[in-house]
């Protein structure tokens, strides 16, 4: 049993509801995460699955401290990071990387691919940027010449690879993948997931893979956490979760996936 | 060689034409004392209201004619480029720097910073601009500096509003989150990641502002609130020309053409720069 | 064997100065049939939908073939008559319910406007019909929902409104462009069930555009697989899944994630296949270039 890279206890997060903000005074807060507790094993890929409003995206952002939790503990490599200030977090950021969903907005349109990948390297004082950039590009299967291109010259799948290259360039211990294949075609999706599995084998990072698509996590993830409206509904080993779901909601999510098997009666089943 | 040719092909006529006119005007502004055919201030009542060279009744050497005091129109036109440019660049940059800085801060940091700056802009914009500029200029001694100040003090709000909107839009993009996740400080994110994406909008606004500044200066000197010396300005030439339009239409026409072309050139130059240098548009 | 309601015959469209975006596409939808149009982004599915509604972008020209709706060649109708003809017979369900609805109009207005303009209904009649439709798409409290604005509804409810709106003028053909892609999987099942239900009840033909093979298997009777604007396979759905013939179809199936057979899914296409497909397209284009010139 590997060590837990992340241990989360009774995590609470709320965000202000700006649509209900009164003229004077603070906006009322909506509870997004309602006391979550779980662990992420080192070297494992854990899927965090849920529908819209489940809080999965907020959970991801809170784990890497782009959001500050209201209460609860987040222990990363043995260190409590839930209450750290931005300054104290800075040295840890190297090991907390994120890959975004939207390949169009996650890359600065006015920077070259090389500049985008090397920016975090320079920030954390790593030398040999050019070599590392070339290495990162090679790792994600993009030609070295792409370093001088701009994002709009690349396809969606290629942009997503640049996002991955940016995240792995620092050789982080943890990567958050936030719905990274949700906007992609079936074949691009397969390529990206294949790439992630290869990289994980090579680099042995820990990953949290957020997705609304349960079928995607079956092959990629070692463990799955199912979320619903800010709570964890089920947290199990992937095969067990799919074969013997314990919770009715998990069963519902699984059964709503249309498998590519012809069955016209499926739609009538409730 | 092929690269140079490629760059020339890529740059549209817009940039070339407007750039050429502006360079011409800039040279006129810088070298006026040296290149003017006649002293712009020299009066000779014997040579008053002479028509341009291609019309009968003209004198050789006075290419665009003379005004009612016998001063050479061409020389005055050239020397008037200097105050126009000084105001364009001075007021344009001043309004741009102040407005853009506040717009960036307000759009990026939000919260109280945004609230305070936005309220200031709202209140500021409530003052009637023309009245304000006339008051300001009348308050300080009329000079180019007071004109520059007057324009900048009013027009910075235009920059602030637009830059704030652009900044807010960029702030929503994931690459800003990504910079934060990297560990970049908020100020560094604003300057290194967001600013390059707001710069095209600022460039276009700045060039427009320069054109506006030239016109405002012309208006102010039309009503005698600009430089108080005999220094020729297009505005004062137009004022004078209006009075003698039936006897000497050239005194009105040429400064108007110069004004029009210069303002047009400024705006087109900004657009052309954006087209040429913005990586996203390539 | 009834005549097809929609016939697309050897349709090729191209950019004014460039290559073809659709390469001799042929497909038919019979009355009451659910036909899938399967392909990935850039394959040309949306272009086909636009061709059916006569709204191809201006930069694009039809260079071959025609589109026939209820036996009428759409190209032969003048602009205004064509719009009316299509409006009475076909409707569209878009992918993104948020941008498809006018944010400044109440739901009531959006549905009724259609009825008043296309069917020439009176306001009271249109309102009654709109209420009936909202009930048919299983919206609870239709009276209340009619008064709401689009942003006050959830994604699923918005899509139901769009479905109601599409069926409102009793079209004989509906083109649905990935209508459930933006929805949660539980909502997707409900919406797909609703679409199937409405389609069966009204006897409407459905051209269902999707890249999700699972949806094709559960909803559709026949399918056309599109790659780079070219039809690579066309078959009844049972045959398509039992014996996929074209390499691209097989690759799509291999790449589709399956939770019941994880090792057999999510397989990326091999570079050989991609090269093979490119060659196939190039051959098609070469044959096209050699075709005898016609006046």
Q: Which two tokens stand for residue A194?
A: 């294949």
Asked if residue C189 belongs to a domain, the reply is yes
Spatial neighbors of C151 by CB under 8 A, at least 6 apart, are C98, C103
Candidates C266, C269, C273, C276: best to mutate against A (most CBs of A within 10 A) is C266
Instruction: Give C113→chain A minimum CA distance, Å.
Output: 30
Determine, for residues A166 and B178 on separate chains, whether the beta-carbon distance falls below 8 Å: yes
Report the Cα C51 to chain-centroid distance in Å.
11
Say if residues A3 and A76 touch (Cβ distance below 8 Å).
Answer: no
Number of domains in chain B: 1
B205 touches chain A (CB under 8 A): no
CA distance A3 to A77: 9
In B, which residues are within 8 Å of A102 by CB distance?
174
Residues spanned by the domain of C256: 6-289
Determine, for residues C189 and A258 on separate chains, whether the beta-carbon distance falls below 8 Å: yes
Say if residues B176 and B194 touch (Cβ distance below 8 Å).
Answer: yes
Q: Which two tokens stand for residue A193?
A: 């997931």
- Which of A219, A220, A262 has the CB atom closest to C238's CB atom? A262
- Which of B181, B196, B278 has the CB atom closest to A64's CB atom? B181
Task: Tell me the ipTM for this assembly.
Answer: 0.85
- Which of C184, C192, C267 has the CB atom closest to A51's CB atom? C184
Residues spanned by the domain of B58: 11-33+52-281
pLDDT value, residue C294: 57
Candidates B171, B179, B183: best to mutate against A (most CBs of A within 10 A) is B183
Instruction: Give B246→chain A minimum CA distance, Å.
Output: 55
pLDDT value, residue B207: 93
Q: Which of C98-112, C160-174, C211-225, C249-263 is least confident?
A: C98-112
Physical contact, B and C (3 or more Cβ pairs within 8 A): no
CA angle C114, C120, C123 (to 5 degrees): 75
Determine, for residues B182 and A119 on separate chains, whether the beta-carbon distance falls below 8 Å: yes
Nearest to C263 by CA among A220, A209, A140, A206: A220
User: pLDDT-derived band of residue C214, with 50, 70 and 90 as boundaries?
Assistant: very high
In B, which residues are within 8 Å of A150 by CB distance?
279-280, 282
| B167-176 confidence digits (pLDDT tens) | 999 999 999 9
| C113-154 confidence digits (pLDDT tens) | 888 887 888 999 999 999 999 999 999 889 999 999 988 888
Determine, for residues B196 and A110 on separate chains, whether the beta-carbon distance falls below 8 Å: yes
| Minimum CA–CA partner of A62 in chain B | B181
CA angle C166, C167, C173 (to 5 degrees): 85
Asked if residue C16 belongs to a domain, the reply is yes
Nearest to C281 by CA among C224, C234, C245, C228: C228
Q: Where are the beta strands (DSSP E) in chain A?
A: 4-16, 29-41, 45-50, 71-76, 79-80, 96-99, 174-178, 206-211, 223-228, 231-237
Residue B149 to residues A110, B101, B144, B155, B156, Cα–Cα distance (Å): 34, 17, 9, 10, 11
Spatial neighbors of A53 by CB under 8 A, at least 6 apart, are A229
Spatial neighbors of B40 by CB under 8 A, at least 6 apart, are B32, B71, B72, B75, B76, B78, B79, B232
Say if residues A212 and A51 touch (Cβ distance below 8 Å).
Answer: yes
Regions in chain A scoring below 70 on pLDDT: 1-2, 270
Asked if residue C260 belongs to a domain, the reply is yes
Chains meeting B at 3+ CB pairs closer than 8 A? A
Note the pTM of the prediction, 2 decimals. 0.83
Of chain C, the end-to-end C-alpha distance in Å amounts to: 35
Instruction: Give A56→chain B minimum CA distance, Å.
Output: 17
Determine, for residues C185 and A52 on separate chains, whether the beta-carbon distance falls below 8 Å: no
Instruction: Give A222→chain C minimum CA distance, Å.
Output: 12
Candidates B182, B193, B196, B202: best to mutate against A (most CBs of A within 10 A) is B182
Nearest to B76 by CA among B213, B252, B262, B195: B252
| Minimum CA–CA partner of B188 in chain A | A123
CA distance C198 to C179: 14
C214 touches chain A (CB under 8 A): yes
Under DSSP, the state recorded for C221 is: S
Determine, for residues B197 and A152 on separate chains, whether the beta-carbon distance falls below 8 Å: no
Chains meeting A at 3+ CB pairs closer than 8 A? B, C
Determine, for residues B175 and A93 on separate chains, whether the beta-carbon distance falls below 8 Å: no
CATH of the domain at C145: 3.40.50.300
In A, which residues are within 8 Å of C40 by CB distance?
185-188
pLDDT value, residue B210: 93
Residue A70 to residues A42, A231, B271, Cα–Cα distance (Å): 26, 15, 48
| Minimum CA–CA partner of C219 in chain A | A264
Say if residues A46 and A5 touch (Cβ distance below 8 Å).
Answer: no
- Which of A194, A215, A258 has the CB atom closest to C268's CB atom? A194
- The phi and psi torsions of A197 (rounded to 5 degrees) equal -65, -40
- Which of C41, C241, C263 has the CB atom closest to A185's CB atom? C41
pLDDT value, residue A270: 63
CA distance B92 to B94: 6
pLDDT value, residue C67: 95
Determine, for residues B181 and A102 on separate chains, whether the beta-carbon distance falls below 8 Å: no
Scan for tokens 């590392």, then name that residue.
A132
Say if residues A172 and A164 touch (Cβ distance below 8 Å).
Answer: no
Asked if residue C71 belongs to a domain, the reply is yes
Determine, for residues A190 and C255 on separate chains, whether the beta-carbon distance falls below 8 Å: yes
pLDDT in single tens digits along all 282 residues of chain B: 444 444 444 557 888 899 999 999 999 899 988 888 888 888 888 888 888 888 887 778 888 888 888 888 899 999 999 999 999 999 999 999 999 999 999 999 998 999 999 999 999 988 888 788 778 877 877 788 888 988 898 899 999 999 999 999 999 999 998 888 888 888 999 999 999 999 999 999 999 999 999 998 888 888 887 776 778 889 888 988 888 888 888 899 999 999 999 999 998 998 888 887 777 765
| Minimum CA–CA partner of C152 in chain A | A19
Asked if residue C269 belongs to a domain, the reply is yes
Say if residues B82 and B32 touch (Cβ distance below 8 Å).
Answer: yes
Determine, for residues A258 and C196 on separate chains, whether the beta-carbon distance falls below 8 Å: no
Determine, for residues B173 and A106 on separate chains, whether the beta-carbon distance falls below 8 Å: yes
| Minimum CA–CA partner of A252 in chain C | C186
pLDDT value, residue B6: 46
Asked if residue B142 belongs to a domain, the reply is yes
Say if residues B241 and B253 touch (Cβ distance below 8 Å).
Answer: yes
CA distance B8 to B116: 46
Say if residues A60 and A222 touch (Cβ distance below 8 Å).
Answer: no
Which domains does chain A show, CATH number per domain? Answer: 4-17+28-258 (3.40.50.300)
pLDDT value, residue A124: 82
User: pLDDT-derived band of residue C225, with 50, 70 and 90 as boundaries?
Assistant: very high
CA distance C41 to C11: 19
Nearest to B217 by CA among B128, B267, B154, B158: B154
Residue with the larger pLDDT of the pair C35 and C18? C35
pLDDT value, residue B1: 40
Under DSSP, the state recorded for C5 is: S
pLDDT value, residue C118: 79
For the cut 70, the answer to whether the pLDDT of residue C1 exceeds it is no
Candidates A110, A152, A176: best to mutate against B (most CBs of B within 10 A) is A110
H helical segments located in chain B: 2-10, 13-35, 73-79, 81-109, 111-126, 129-139, 144-171, 174-182, 186-188, 195-222, 234-243, 250-277
pLDDT value, residue B159: 94
Number of domains in chain C: 1
A210 touches chain B (CB under 8 A): no
B111 touches chain A (CB under 8 A): no
Spatial neighbors of B96 by CB under 8 A, at least 6 apart, are B156, B159, B202, B205, B206, B209
Give mean pLDDT, residues C234-238.
Answer: 96
In C, which residues are within 8 Å of A263 by CB distance?
217-218
Determine, for residues A120 and B177 on separate chains, whether the beta-carbon distance falls below 8 Å: no
Helices (H) and strands (E) in chain A, counts: 9, 10
A109 touches chain B (CB under 8 A): yes
For the cut 50, the answer to whether the pLDDT of residue C295 exceeds it is no
Spatial neighbors of C252 by CB under 8 A, at least 6 apart, are A186, A187, C38, C40, C213, C225
In A, which residues are within 8 Å of C257 by CB distance?
189-190, 213, 215-216, 218-219
Report the relative pairing of strands A231-237 and A223-228 from DSSP bridges: antiparallel
3-state SS class at C43? coil
Asked if residue C1 belongs to a domain, the reply is no
Nearest to A165 by CA among A195, A204, A126, A206: A195
Instruction: Please state the length of chain C.
Output: 295
In C, which residues are within 8 Å of A245 by CB distance?
none
CA distance B210 to B87: 8
CA distance B67 to B49: 5
Physical contact, A and C (3 or more Cβ pairs within 8 A): yes
Residue B254 exposed, middle or buried by CB count within 10 Å (0-12, 13-18, 19+): buried
- Sheet with A79-80, edge to edge strand ranges: A29-41, A4-16, A71-76, A79-80
| C84-94 confidence digits (pLDDT tens) | 899 889 999 98
Element holding A158 (H helix, E strand)? helix A156-169
| Minimum CA–CA partner of C185 in chain A | A256
Determine, for residues A189 and C213 on separate chains, whether the beta-carbon distance falls below 8 Å: no
Say if residues A68 and A105 touch (Cβ distance below 8 Å).
Answer: no
Instruction: Give B202→chain A minimum CA distance, Å.
Output: 15
Instruction: Give B143→chain A minimum CA distance, Å.
Output: 41
Say if residues A5 and A173 touch (Cβ distance below 8 Å).
Answer: yes
CATH of the domain at B248: 1.10.3720.10
Give mean pLDDT, residues C234-246.
Answer: 95
CA distance C269 to B241: 77
CA angle A114, B187, B106 (to 5 degrees): 120
Q: Which two tokens stand for residue C28?
A: 């038919």
In C, which residues are within 8 Å of A242 by CB distance?
259
Residue A184 to residues A102, B142, B275, C295, Cα–Cα distance (Å): 10, 64, 31, 43
CA distance B277 to C74: 45
Candidates B111, B112, B175: best to mutate against A (most CBs of A within 10 A) is B175
Asked if residue B163 belongs to a domain, the reply is yes
C135 touches chain A (CB under 8 A): no
Helix, strand, coil percentages in chain A from 3-state DSSP, rounded to 5: 40, 25, 35
A118 touches chain B (CB under 8 A): no
Q: Which two tokens stand for residue A213?
A: 């698509």
């Amino acid at each position: 049993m590997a060590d837990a890279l992340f241990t989360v206890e009774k995590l609470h997060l709320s965000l202000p509801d700006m649509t209900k903000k009164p003229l004077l005074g603070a906006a009322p807060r909506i509870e997004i995460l309602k006391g979550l507790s779980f662990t992420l094993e080192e070297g494992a890929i854990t899927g965090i699955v849920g529908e819209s409003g489940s809080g999965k995206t907020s959970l991801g952002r809170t784990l890497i401290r782009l959001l500050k939790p209201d209460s609860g503990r987040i222990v990363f490599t043995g260190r409590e990071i839930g209450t750290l200030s931005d300054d104290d977090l800075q040295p840890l950021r190297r090991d907390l990387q994120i890959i975004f969903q939207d390949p169009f907005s996650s890359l600065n349109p006015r920077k070259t691919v090389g500049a985008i990948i090397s920016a975090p390297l320079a920030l954390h004082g790593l030398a040999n940027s050019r070599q590392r950039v070339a290495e990162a590009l090679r790792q994600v299967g993009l030609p070295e010449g792409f370093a001088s291109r701009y994002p709009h010259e690349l396809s969606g799948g290629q942009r997503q690879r640049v996002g991955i290259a940016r995240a792995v360039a620092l050789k982080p211990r943890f990567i958050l993948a936030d719905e990274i294949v949700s906007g992609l075609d079936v074949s691009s999706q397969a390529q990206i997931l294949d790439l992630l599995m290869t990289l994980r084998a090579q680099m042995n990072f820990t990953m949290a893979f957020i997705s609304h698509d349960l079928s995607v996590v079956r092959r990629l993830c070692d463990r799955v956490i199912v979320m619903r409206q800010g709570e964890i509904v089920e947290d199990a080993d992937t095969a067990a979760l799919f074969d013997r779901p314990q919770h009715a909601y998990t069963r519902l999510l699984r059964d709503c996936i249309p498998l590519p098997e012809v069955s016209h009666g499926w739609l009538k089943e409730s | 060689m092929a690269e140079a040719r490629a760059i020339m092909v890529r740059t549209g006529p817009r940039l070339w034409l407007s750039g050429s006119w502006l360079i011409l005007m800039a040279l006129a502004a810088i070298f006026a004392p040296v290149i003017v055919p006649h002293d712009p201030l020299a009066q000779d009542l014997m040579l008053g209201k002479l028509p341009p060279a291609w019309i009968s009744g003209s004198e050789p050497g006075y290419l665009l004619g003379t005004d009612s005091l016998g001063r050479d129109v061409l020389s005055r036109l050239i020397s008037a480029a200097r105050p126009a440019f000084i105001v364009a660049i001075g007021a344009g940059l001043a309004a741009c720097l102040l407005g853009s800085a506040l717009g960036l801060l307000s759009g990026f940091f939000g919260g109280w910073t945004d609230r305070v700056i936005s309220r200031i802009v709202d209140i500021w914009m409530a003052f009637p601009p023309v009245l304000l500029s006339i008051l300001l200029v009348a308050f300080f001694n009329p000079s180019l500096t007071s004109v520059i100040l007057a324009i900048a003090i009013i027009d910075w709000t235009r920059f602030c509003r637009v830059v704030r909107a652009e900044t807010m839009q960029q702030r929503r993009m994931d690459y800003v989150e990504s910079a934060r996740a990297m560990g970049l400080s908020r100020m560094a994110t604003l300057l290194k990641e967001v600013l390059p994406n707001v710069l095209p909008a600022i460039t276009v606004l700045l060039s427009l502002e320069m054109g506006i500044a030239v016109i405002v200066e012309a208006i102010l000197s039309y009503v005698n609130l600009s430089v108080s010396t005999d220094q020729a300005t297009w505005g004062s030439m137009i004022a004078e020309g209006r009075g003698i339009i039936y006897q000497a239409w050239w005194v009105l026409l040429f400064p108007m053409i110069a004004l029009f072309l210069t303002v047009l050139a400024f705006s087109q130059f900004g657009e052309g720069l954006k087209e040429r240098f913005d990586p996203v548009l390539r | 064997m009834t005549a097809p309601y929609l016939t697309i015959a050897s349709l090729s469209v191209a950019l004014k100065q460039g290559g073809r975006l659709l390469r001799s596409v042929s497909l038919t939808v019979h009355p009451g049939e659910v036909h899938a149009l399967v392909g990935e982004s850039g394959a040309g599915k949306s272009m086909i939908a636009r061709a059916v509604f006569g709204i191809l972008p201006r930069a694009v020209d039809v260079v071959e073939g025609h589109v026939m709706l209820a036996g009428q060649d759409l190209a032969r109708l003048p602009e205004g008559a064509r719009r009316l003809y299509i409006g009475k017979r076909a409707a569209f369900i878009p992918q993104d319910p948020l941008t498809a609805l006018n944010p400044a109009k109440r739901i009531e207005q959006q549905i009724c406007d259609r009825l008043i303009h296309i069917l020439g209904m009176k306001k009271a009649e249109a309102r009654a019909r709109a209420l009936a439709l909202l009930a048919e798409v299983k919206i609870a409290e239709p009276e209340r929902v009619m008064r709401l604005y689009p942003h006050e509804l959830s994604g699923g409810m918005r899509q139901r409104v769009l479905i109601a709106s599409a069926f409102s003028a009793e079209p004989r053909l509906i083109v649905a462009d990935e209508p459930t892609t933006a929805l949660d999987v539980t909502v997707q099942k409900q919406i797909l069930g609703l679409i199937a239900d409405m389609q069966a009840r009204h006897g409407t033909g459905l051209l269902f555009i999707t890249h999700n093979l699972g949806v094709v298997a559960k909803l559709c009777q026949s399918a056309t697989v599109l790659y780079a604007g070219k039809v690579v396979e066309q078959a009844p759905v049972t045959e398509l899944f039992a014996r996929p013939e074209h390499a691209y179809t097989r690759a799509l199936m291999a790449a589709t994630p399956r939770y019941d057979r994880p090792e057999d899914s999510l397989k990326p296409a091999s570079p050989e296949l991609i090269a093979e497909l490119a060659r196939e397209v190039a051959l098609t284009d070469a044959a096209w270039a050699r075709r005898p010139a016609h006046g």
